[in-house]
């Protein structure tokens, strides 16, 4: 990223510079069941942030029914606290941001990825690259986020490692640089060969001890290898030769640019390979980076506090209508009760009682620097994409709306509540809970989401916050695209020919609603001078409206 010459010099405060450098803010992306929860837990155990296995698993509650989910949400704290987990290991302070999956997959899952500096991609070695991983990686690619790959479940009968790497490279379009290489698999999984350290780490099954030391064999020659691993040595030697000869070797710059991913093989459930991944995060993943605002690039160690909201968690309890805004600090230092300027409204506000996330609650502290996440209680003033600063007029970029993949139309059980329904939907749309569109040829608002849970949350909030009882019907739409064109006349022609398929979003931007994938492709072919966008920035007014 180019650093704007008008950027103020970094802080002269060495403590701030030191604290920022220690931060590693990351997410784990994977398809359900690849092992994200297991790896999260093992990382937390390894980092000493939790003492007992099962702590994270117990809340892996994407699997429970919606009614149970509401119940859990009501007991706030649980889901809020586990959305961000901070722990220290060695010299680093890690912020692990949860990417909700399973049933609670939603636009939040995507947005969390706009607030991290690196990601770990977990791939199930038996299944290879799966659908949700592809989607999440596309979102990482918007910001060229560096990716560390962990190929999990090597203790099972899985696919050939070379085939897996080929698949990652061809489907995800990212170069793979194996750092460890598996020796056997399943019942004959012997461990991994560390290509950079010329070391073999022996696998030993065992779920309990996160800090277990695996036997390490340094610099074994060919003869010694054959003696130790008579069945696997030949394959290992030829694969290593192939990987060394034809594959990429690890290149830190390519990794930091999001072009190459270091690859580790292991077994999360057995703690095997977890330490290597954590070390890769500490040694290679970037600390908080300069962040682009509309006005200028902000450096993480600048003294003045700034940051942005990337997620809103509404309290589902009707007695308490406050919300928690998840806020990524981008510069300066947070202190309790500090006064900040809310850029969108131009008003000043005090951040009282912010939640500072610690996986280990005993060491709770009221301090946060760039890379950290704080939870700000508010009553609806804060929307997704909002920037808070210590006075400077700044608007952070890169927190987009994502093209919805599910659409529905609300149906009122009491037709007299139509006004409240529209008010509620528009407000929830502005907040970012769901996307709201006004079709050109229909008076009913259309609701778009990335995950089914968003509709359920909206139905619940309409009832508790607006007294509106509504159900949602499938609207039979495949996807939406924001449309723009530099040629106003061309855009007017497009609009005239497609009135039935057009709508406006909450900010008045023009949106094309395609009922099928083919319909979208045809529209793109027929109107080559119209740009169809699958994301748009919060608060951004496109030239079409």
* Contact residues for ligand G4P, defined by CB under 6 A: 30, 32-38, 57, 60, 152-153, 155-156, 267-270
443, 503 contact by CB (below 8 A): no
Q: Which is nearer to ligand G4P, 38 or 86 (CB)?
A: 38
User: How many CB atoms within 10 Å of residue 315?
Assistant: 18
Minimum CB separation of residue 73 from ligand G4P in Å reads: 19
Q: Which is nearer to ligand G4P, 276 or 438 (CB)?
A: 276
Cα 360–Cα 364–Cα 369 angle in degrees, nearest 5: 105
Q: Which is nearer to ligand G4P, 137 or 269 (CB)?
A: 269
Sequence-ordered alpha helix ranges (H) in 467-508: 488-497
Q: Which is nearer to ligand G4P, 157 or 322 (CB)?
A: 157
Minimum CB separation of residue 128 from ligand G4P in Å reads: 14
Minimum CB separation of residue 205 from ligand G4P in Å reads: 9
CA separation for the pair 190, 376 (Å, rounded): 48
**Taking Cα atoms as reference points, which of 539, 91, 20 lies closest to residue 291?**
20
User: How many CB atoms within 10 Å of residue 279?
Assistant: 15
Q: Which is nearer to ligand G4P, 63 or 347 (CB)?
A: 63
Q: Two tokens at 71?
A: 């119940």
Minimum CB separation of residue 63 from ligand G4P in Å reads: 9
Q: Give the HSE-up count for residue 25: Cα atoms under 13 Å, Cβ half-sphere.
A: 28
CA separation for the pair 115, 176 (Å, rounded): 24
- Element spanning 278, H or E: helix 274-283
DSSP letters along 49-64, please?
S-SSTTTTGGG-GGGS
CA separation for the pair 521, 12 (Å, rounded): 53
Minimum CB separation of residue 502 from ligand G4P in Å reads: 39
Buried b (16+ CB within 10 A) or exposed e, 160-174: ebeebbeebbeebeb
Q: Two tokens at 442?
A: 């229909």
Q: Which is nearer to ligand G4P, 121 or 370 (CB)?
A: 121
Q: Which is nearer to ligand G4P, 34 or 447 (CB)?
A: 34
- Measured torsion, CA atoms of residues 485, 489, 490, 492, in degrees rounded to the nearest 10: 90
Minimum CB separation of residue 60 from ligand G4P in Å reads: 6
Minimum CB separation of residue 37 from ligand G4P in Å reads: 3
Minimum CB separation of residue 272 from ligand G4P in Å reads: 8
Q: Which is nearer to ligand G4P, 101 or 424 (CB)?
A: 101
Minimum CB separation of residue 79 from ligand G4P in Å reads: 15
Q: Which is nearer to ligand G4P, 52 or 393 (CB)?
A: 52
* Polymer length in residues for the chain: 545
Minimum CB separation of residue 36 from ligand G4P in Å reads: 3
Strands 147-152 and 118-124: parallel
Q: Which is nearer to ligand G4P, 36 or 323 (CB)?
A: 36
Q: Which is nearer to ligand G4P, 34 or 233 (CB)?
A: 34
How would you class 273 by CB atoms within 10 Å of its CB: exposed for 0-12, middle for 13-18, buried for 19 or more?
Answer: buried
Minimum CB separation of residue 168 from ligand G4P in Å reads: 17
C-alpha distances in Å from residue 372, one per residue of 89, 282, 308, 515:
15, 16, 11, 41
SS3 track for 311-374: EEEECCCCCCCCEEEEEEEEECEECCCEEEEECCCCEEEEECCCEECCCCHHHCCCCEECCCEE
Reduce the DSSP state of residue 157 to 3 states and report it.
Answer: coil
Helix 161-172 crosses helix 131-142 at what angle (to 10 degrees)? 50
Strand partners, 24: 94
Q: Which is nearer to ligand G4P, 155 or 456 (CB)?
A: 155
Minimum CB separation of residue 274 from ligand G4P in Å reads: 10
């Amino acid at each position: 990223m180019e650093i704007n010459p008008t950027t103020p010099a970094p802080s002269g405060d060495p403590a701030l510079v030191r604290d920022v450098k220690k931060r590693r803010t990351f997410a784990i992306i994977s398809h359900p069941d690849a092992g994200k929860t297991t790896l999260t837990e093992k990382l937390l155990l390894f980092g000493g942030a939790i003492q007992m296995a099962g702590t994270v698993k117990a809340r892996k509650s994407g699997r429970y029914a919606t009614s149970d989910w509401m119940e859990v949400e009501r007991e706030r704290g649980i889901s809020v606290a586990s959305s961000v987990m901070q722990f220290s290991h060695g010299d680093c302070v890690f912020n692990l941001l949860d990417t909700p999956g399973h049933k609670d997959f939603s636009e939040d899952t995507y947005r969390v990825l706009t607030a991290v500096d690196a990601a770990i991609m977990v791939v199930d070695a038996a299944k290879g690259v799966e659908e949700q991983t592809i989607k999440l990686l596309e979102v990482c690619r918007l910001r060229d986020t560096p990716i560390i790959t962990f190929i999990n479940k090597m203790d099972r009968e899985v696919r050939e490692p070379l085939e897996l790497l080929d698949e990652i490279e061809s489907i995800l379009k990212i170069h793979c640089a194996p750092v460890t290489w598996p020796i056997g698999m399943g019942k004959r999984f012997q461990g991994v060969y560390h290509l950079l350290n010329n070391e073999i780490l022996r696998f030993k099954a065992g779920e309990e001890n996160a800090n277990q030391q695996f036997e390490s064999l340094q610099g074994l020659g060919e003869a010694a290898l054959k003696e130790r691993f008579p069945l696997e040595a030949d394959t290992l030697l030829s694969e290593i030769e192939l990987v060394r000869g034809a594959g990429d070797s690890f290149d830190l710059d390519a990794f930091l640019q999001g072009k190459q991913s270091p690859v580790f093989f292991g077994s999360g459930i057995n703690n095997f390979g977890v330490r290597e991944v954590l070390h890769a995060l500490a040694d290679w993943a970037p600390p908080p980076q300069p962040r682009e605002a509309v006005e200028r690039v902000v450096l993480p160690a600048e003294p003045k506090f700034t940051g942005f909201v990337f997620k809103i968690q509404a309290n589902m309890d009707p007695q308490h209508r406050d919300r928690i805004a998840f806020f990524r600090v981008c510069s300066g230092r947070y202190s309790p009760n500090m006064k900040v300027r809310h850029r969108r409204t131009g008003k000043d506000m005090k951040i009282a009682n912010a939640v500072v996330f610690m996986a280990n609650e005993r060491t709770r502290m009221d301090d946060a620097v760039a890379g950290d996440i704080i939870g700000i209680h508010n009553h609806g003033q804060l929307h997704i994409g909002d920037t808070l600063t210590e006075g400077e007029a700044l608007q952070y970029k890169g927190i987009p709306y994502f093209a919805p993949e599910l659409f529905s139309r609300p149906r009122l059980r009491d037709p007299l509540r139509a006004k409240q329904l529209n008010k509620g939907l528009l407000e929830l749309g502005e907040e970012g809970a769901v996307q709201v569109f006004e079709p050109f040829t229909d008076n009913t608002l259309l609701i778009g989401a990335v995950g089914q849970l968003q509709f359920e949350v909206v139905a619940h909030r309409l009832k508790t916050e607006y007294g509106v009882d509504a159900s949602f019907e499938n609207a039979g739409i495949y996807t939406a695209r924001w449309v723009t064109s530099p040629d106003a006349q061309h855009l007017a022609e497009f609009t005239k020919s497609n009135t039935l398929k057009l709508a406006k979003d909450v900010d008045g931007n023009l949106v094309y609603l395609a009922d099928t994938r083919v319909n979208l492709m045809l529209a793109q072919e027929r109107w080559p001078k119209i740009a169809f966008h699958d994301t748009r920035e919060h608060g951004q007014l496109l030239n079409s409206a």
